[in-house]
A and B are shown apart, each in its own frame.
Chain A
Amino acid sequence: MSKNKIQVTAIILVLSFFAFFALAPFFFMLISSFKPGDQIIKNGISASIDFDIMSFQNYKTLFTERSGIYLHWYKNSVLITTIQTAAAVFLSSWVGYGLAVYEFKGKNLIFILVLVLMMVPIEILILPLYKLSITLGILDSYAGVILPFIVPPVAVFFFRQFAVGLPTELIDAARIDGASEFAIFFKIMMPLMKPAFGAMIILQAMFSWNAFVWPLIVLRSNENFTLPIGLASLITPYGNSYDMLFSGAVISVVPIIILFMFKQNSFISGLTVGGVKG
C-alpha cells in the first residue's frame, strides 16, 4: 500500500470510531426500549440482545399507562415548542432588525446588553424567576414556560447580524413611496430575511423541545409536564411506569431526527452563530 492509501485508511478508521461512539447509544437506546423496564432499572443497559424478553409492549404502555399521561406530555411539548418558536423567532427578528437598520439613542447600550445576556445562564435566576412566576400567576402553565424566553438574546443577535447586510436602498426607496416603517419590515425586509428564519426556527424548536431546567422549575403538576420533565419524573426513586422510560425517550427523539435529516444545513448554520450550550 502506498503512503497515501495508508493515510486515507487511517483517517477513515479514526472517524469511524467516533461515528460509532456517536451512533451506538441510539442503537442501544432502541434495543432497551423493547426490554422490560424494571429489568433496565435493576441491571442497567447491557450489550445483550435477547429477543425472548423483547416486545412492543413498552410502546403500547405509552398509550395506556396512567390514562395516557405520555400523550399529555407529548401534546404539551408540541404546543409549547410551536408557540415558543413562533413567538421567539418573530420577536427576535423584529428586535434584531430594529437594532440593525436604525440609528437611535441607546442603541449601543442595548446591543451590548444583548451580547452580555447571551452569556448569562438562566440557571442563576431560577429562584427569583420562580417567585416571579408565582406573583405573575403563570406558575405551572404554558405561559410560565414560554414568557421568560420569548425574546432570546441569541436569536436577536443572529437576526441583527443578518439584517446588517440587508440593502438599505430598498428601505429608502420604500419610504419615498410612502410606506410606513412597519410596512417596510413586514412587506420588504421580512421576505429578505427568509434564510435567517429557517435557521432560527429550527434552532429555537430544538431548544424548546429539549428545554429542561426552567420547565422543571415552573411546571408543577404531572399532566402539565413536557416530555423531558415527564421522562425525568419516571426515574425518581418513587417512579414507576419504568416501561415507558426508553420507549418514551425514543419517541421523543424521533421528530428532531426526522427534521435534522431534511434540514441539516439549517441546523448547522443556526448553531454556528449562536453560542448555545445546555
Chain B
Amino acid sequence: MQILKNFYEKYINSRKVAPYIFVAPFIIVFLVFYLYPMISTIIMSFQEIGFGEPKFVGLENYRDLFNVHYKNALLTSTNYTFWTILVLVPLPIVLAVLLNSDKTKFTNFFRSSIFMPALTSVIVAGMFFRYAFGEQASTLANSIIGVFGLEPITWLQNSIPAMIALVVLCVWRWLGVNIIYFLSGLQSIPEEIYEAADIDGASSWDKFKYITIPSLKPVIIYVITISVFGGYKMFAESYAYWQTATPNDIGMTIVSYIYQTGFNNFNMGFASAIGITLLLIVLIVNIIQLNLFGLFKKGEQ
C-alpha cells in the first residue's frame, strides 16, 4: 500500500506526469477515432474491397473518379457552398447591424426568433421543406411563387429549383447563428470610432463601409471558413430530400456519393478514394484559412 502511495505521489501526481494524464483522453480518441480511420481510409482507397480479401489495385479507384457522377457531386457541393456563402454572409451582416442599432425595438424577440430554426435537427427541418417544396400547385413553395404569377415547379426533380430548395433549408437553419457571430463581432467595435466618424460628418453608409465591414473582417473570414467546411461536407439535407440515388444525380453531394458508393453499392475502395478527395479539399481550405488568420495566431489568443 505504501509503495502504491509512493508511486502515486512520485509519478502520477508529479507535475511532469499529471499533464499527460489530463490530455490522455484526447490522445486516445485522436489515435483510435481519427488517425487510425484516416490511415485505413487511405489504404482502402488503393484497394478493391469485395466480399473476399481486399485486393491492391493501385490508382484504379482514383482513375475511376473521372466519371460523370463524381463531377456532378463535386458540382453540387461546390454550388451549394457558393450560394450558401453568398446569402449567409451579407444578409446576416445587414440584419446584425439592424439588430445592433439602438433605434431598433424588440431586439431580443427578433434575435431569438431568427435563431430558433438552429434548434431543429436537419431531418426535422428537411422533412418540413421537402413537403413544402412539393410539386403540387397547392404546396407552400408553389403558392408563394404563384403570387408572383409563376407556374408550379417540380422543385426536387430539377437541378436549379433543387439547389434553391437546399439553400433555403440551409439559410433557414443558419441565418440566426451567423447573426449571432456578427453581432458579437459588432459589439467588440469601440463606440468611440463611430463617435469620431460622426464628428467628421460621416454618413451611415460611410460608417458601414469604412468602419463596420473592416472591423468585422476576422468574423467574416471565420464564417466563410466554417461555411466552406459545412458546404462541402453537406449530406443530411440532401438525404432528407432524396434518400437514395436520383435521376441525373440531382442534389447528390460528395458525401452522398460516398454514402451511396460505400453503403448502397458496397464499393468501399472507391468510396474511400472519394473521401480522400474531400479530405484534400478540406485541408486546402484549412491551410488558406490559417494563413489568412496569420498562422495560428488567432487560436493562441
Could you tell me which A residues sit within 8 Å of B by CB distance? 4, 7-8, 11-12, 14-16, 18-19, 21-23, 25-26, 28-29, 32, 40-41, 43-48, 91, 94-95, 97-99, 102-104, 107, 110-117, 119-121, 123-132, 147-148, 150-151, 153, 156-157, 180-182, 185, 206, 209-210, 212-213, 216-217, 227-229, 231-232, 235-237, 245-246, 249, 252-253, 256-257, 260, 264, 267-268, 271-272, 275, 277-278
**Given contacts A4-B103, A121-B233, A98 and B22 within 8 Å (CB-CB):** yes
Beta-carbon contact of A277 and B174 below 8 Å:
yes
Beta-carbon contact of A18 and B18 below 8 Å:
no
- Closest approach, in angstroms, between the C-beta of A12 and any C-beta of chain B? 7
Beta-carbon contact of A213 and B235 below 8 Å:
yes
Q: In whole angstroms, how far apart are the Cα atoms of A235 and B239 in the complex? A: 10
Residue B236 lies at the interface, judged by CB distance under 8 Å to chain A:
yes
**Given contacts A107-B19, A131-B40, A91 and B25 within 8 Å (CB-CB):** yes
Q: In whole angstroms, how far apart are the Cα atoms of A257 and B117 in the complex? A: 10
Q: Which of B124, B133, B225, B275 contacts A125 (CB 8 A)?
A: B275
Residue B36 lies at the interface, judged by CB distance under 8 Å to chain A:
yes
Q: Which of B98, B123, B134, B135 contacts A232 (CB 8 A)?
A: B123
- Closest approach, in angstroms, between the C-beta of A193 and any C-beta of chain B? 14
* B contact residues around A148 at 8 Å (CB): 29, 33
Residue B243 lies at the interface, judged by CB distance under 8 Å to chain A:
yes
Of B57-65, B195-203, B258-266, the one contacting chain A is B258-266
**Given contacts A271-B177, A277-B226, A46 and B29 within 8 Å (CB-CB):** no
Taking CB as reference atom, which chain B residue is nearest A125? B37
Q: In whole angstroms, how far apart are the Cα atoms of A19 and B109 in the complex? A: 9
Q: Which of A25, A147, A181, A217 contacts B263 (CB 8 A)?
A: A217
* A contact residues around B101 at 8 Å (CB): 11
Residue B128 lies at the interface, judged by CB distance under 8 Å to chain A:
yes
Beta-carbon contact of B117 and A45 below 8 Å:
no
The 8 closest A-B pairs by CB, nearest first: A44-B134, A98-B22, A128-B37, A121-B233, A210-B121, A44-B139, A102-B19, A277-B230
Beta-carbon contact of B131 and A97 below 8 Å:
no
Beta-carbon contact of A129 and B226 below 8 Å:
no
Beta-carbon contact of B143 and A46 below 8 Å:
yes
Beta-carbon contact of A278 and B286 below 8 Å:
no
* A contact residues around B25 at 8 Å (CB): 91, 94-95, 150-151
Most chain B CB within 10 A, of A43, A232, A256, is at: A232
